[in-house]
Chains A and B, each alone.
Chain A
Amino acid sequence: MSDPRNILEVEHLCQYFTTGSRGKRMTVRAVDDVSFSVRAAETFGLVGESGCGKTTTGRTIIRLYDPTSGTVRFDGREISGKMNRELSAYLAKNMAMIFQDPIESLNPRMTIEEIIGEGLMLRGMSRSEVHQAVIDMLHKVGLTEEHATRYPHEFSGGQRQRIGIARAMILKPRLIIADEPVSALDVSIQAQVINLLNDLQSEMGLTILFIAHNLSVVKYFSDRIGVMYYGKMVEIAPSRELYEHPLHPYTRALLSAIPQPNPLTERHRQRIDYIPERDHDYSKERPEMREVTPDHFVYCSSSEFRRFQSELGIS
């Protein structure tokens, strides 16, 4: 199934967490048999509600967690196996992460230059080389040289997120995992950060895994989108296709709930509810990921698959 366009391939990834003590053990299947692939230089959006496993998926890929099972391949190399020094260095070289909360994710005792340049220092670059690289990066993200000696608390939320982006980008990674990078920001600042990510992506040829819950932003920013629900990937499609022809009932429910800034249509909006017990009958047929139209995958049973095809006018 390996497609040469893919830079990241996730297959049957599971990430379970166990909680509780002896006798009362509980297993949470945060990510449950999730498969998808991301093509080089595209933005893949991962959406879903809180607790659906989108953040866990991102963190497992970059190995903040050890996966329970499944494989993750980056550029053909398996990165989900046993951790060692060499793999850790490989991950650090190729992937970086941008976090949601720009305050929590910056060390308050380090200057901006130390924060952004830390990765380069660890790679053994000299102080003056690091300094120059940091200054260049600051300009790229719309900050200035004088910001280098300041501390995180001196910056606004949007500026801090720019610092987080600079820290991720300076290592020239090939894949960025951006976990809700704009949801903590004000509307006008969100647009600045989204434009910045767009510019950097086209300039550096980056691949971005964009994790978010704001569906309008995801649609705008992503080439393809994966929708997650309770640890499962339920639908994957190119972003325009997903919004024009949502097939999985959960995707439909999710799209119907987005408030649109249009008072005339809002007053007549029909919201769709998703009730798994009502919407699916999996007692006889097991659901699996099926390709309904080229590039449009839905987690469904074979009878649902036939129904989706007839809805789209394919026999």
Chain B
Amino acid sequence: MSEQSSLSQPSNGQECVLSVRDLSVSFRAYGGIVRAVRGVSFDLHRGETLAIVGESGSGKSVSIKSVMGILPSNASVDGGEILYDGMDLTKVDEAKMHEIRGHRIGLIFQDPLSALNPIMRVGKQIMEVLEKRGIGRKEARERALSLMQDVGIPEAEKRIDQYPFQFSGGMRQRIVIAIALAGDPEILICDEPTTALDVTVQAKILELINQIKEKRHLSVLFITHDLGVVAQMADRIAVMYAGRIVETGTSEEIFFDPRHPYTWALLSSMPDLETYERLETIPGTPPNMIYPPKGDAFAARNRYALKIDFEREPPMFRITDTHMAATWLLHPKAPHMEMPVSLAHRIDRMKEAAKHV
């Protein structure tokens, strides 16, 4: 195990379509400067789904908004770069960003109702994107129809001239996906796309996103706080806490061999269908990012914290070629700590369940 300061190695030679390097973003707020993202690095490989997991305030949405260039006006990118297609997206001007956003990088929002224009027919909203790409009106309508069919909207000929309020939540999210696809993007960013939806509708939308990804060879960046959804979608996972990535690895590594105490806590705090014992909780609340704590930001809530956690921020320790975690527990001189017993039991149960499929 060796110390590793960046995550830049493209694992097993996969092509990297988007690379975020040491990104820092802050907000000017009433009480001071909020350090929302503090040195985040990740790579999105072609054809994979990378899930960024974290609680509210962890900086996951802010990271994505920086990639899309849609940060609010009181935010500023303090450092780092976002490399896409030979460009640094933190430096390109708005005109150039306008070409990329929605065309080469598509975005699906959490709330489909506020992502749609309530007084414009849905067909028109899809066609708008196509016409912008220089496609004639008649062909745009044809393509909009076929996109609506692609995303599973029945009776598309009839539905194309309806307004968003005439659609259910799941159908609205399908329209939003159709709009994102109209730009023919190569990267699809999904920001909690199913959080507002019912569980049966959620399952269908997730299946749809997976289908589209396969069919169009998309690379997907998926933001969520729901570990069940992550398990279904992600090839790789990055866990964020207090503006930093604290652990990253393949889906199997994060779920079956988690190393960071925050990942342990996150995995054990939600009941699954086999949980009967008392839930493990994370004491306290996330730190106020106007005053980021010294050392490891999770130390104050971490019952496995070492003295050094309160003094020095841990670097990323490499566990395998794909698995890394920022915790002093991985230092060769650190005392040996086991994950919580209840989590170890749960992982055993999960492995057992996997044998039966």
Contacts and interface: CB of A to CB of B under 8 A. Distances in A.
By size class, the interface of chain A is 35 or more
Contacts of B285: 156, 158-159, 189
Contact of B279 (A194, A213, A265, A268): A194
Interface centre among B201, B251, B269, B350 (most CB of A within 10 A): B269
A258 B276 CA distance: 18
A151 interface: no
A89 interface: no
A198 B55 CA distance: 23
Interface in A244-277: 253-254, 256-269, 271, 274
A161 to B, nearest CB: 12
Nearest to B267: A261
A257 B199 contact: yes
B278 interface: yes
A258 B273 contact: yes
B304 to A, nearest CB: 15
A21 B230 CA distance: 46
Interface in B138-183: 169
Contacts of A266: 228, 231-232
Nearest to B283: A192
Given A187-B55, A192-B281, A195-B279, A219 B273 contact: yes
A79 interface: no
Contact of A261 (B202, B206, B231, B265): B231
A216 B55 contact: no
A188 B228 contact: no
Contact of A219 (B204, B267, B271, B279): B271
A217 interface: yes
A259 B229 contact: yes
B353 A263 contact: no
B272 interface: yes
Contacts of B234: 263
Nearest to B270: A187
B199 A49 contact: yes
A261 to B, nearest CB: 4
Contact of A216 (B203, B273, B276): B273
A74 B134 CA distance: 67
B273 A243 contact: yes
B281 A188 contact: yes
Interface string B200-235: 111110110000000000000000011111111010
B207 A195 contact: no
B252 interface: yes
Interface in B39-94: 55-56
A280 B200 CA distance: 19
A186 B240 CA distance: 14
Contact of A271 (B203, B226, B251, B353): B203
A69 to B, nearest CB: 28
A190 interface: yes
Contacts of B199: 49, 213, 215, 254, 257-258
A55 to B, nearest CB: 14
7 contacts: A158-B285, A187-B225, A188-B266, A194-B271, A257-B203, A261-B227, A262-B353
Interface of B: 55-56, 169, 198-204, 206-207, 225-232, 234, 251-252, 255, 265-267, 269-273, 275-276, 278-282, 285, 350-351, 353-354, 357
Given A188-B281, A259-B202, A259-B228, 12 more contacts: A187-B266, A188-B265, A191-B270, A191-B282, A213-B198, A213-B199, A216-B272, A220-B275, A220-B276, A254-B199, A258-B199, A268-B357
Interface of A: 49-50, 156-159, 186-192, 194-195, 198, 213, 215-217, 219-221, 243, 253-254, 256-269, 271, 274
Task: Rank and list the top 5 A-B pairs by shortest CB-CB distance, nearest first.
Answer: A259-B228, A264-B354, A220-B271, A49-B198, A188-B282
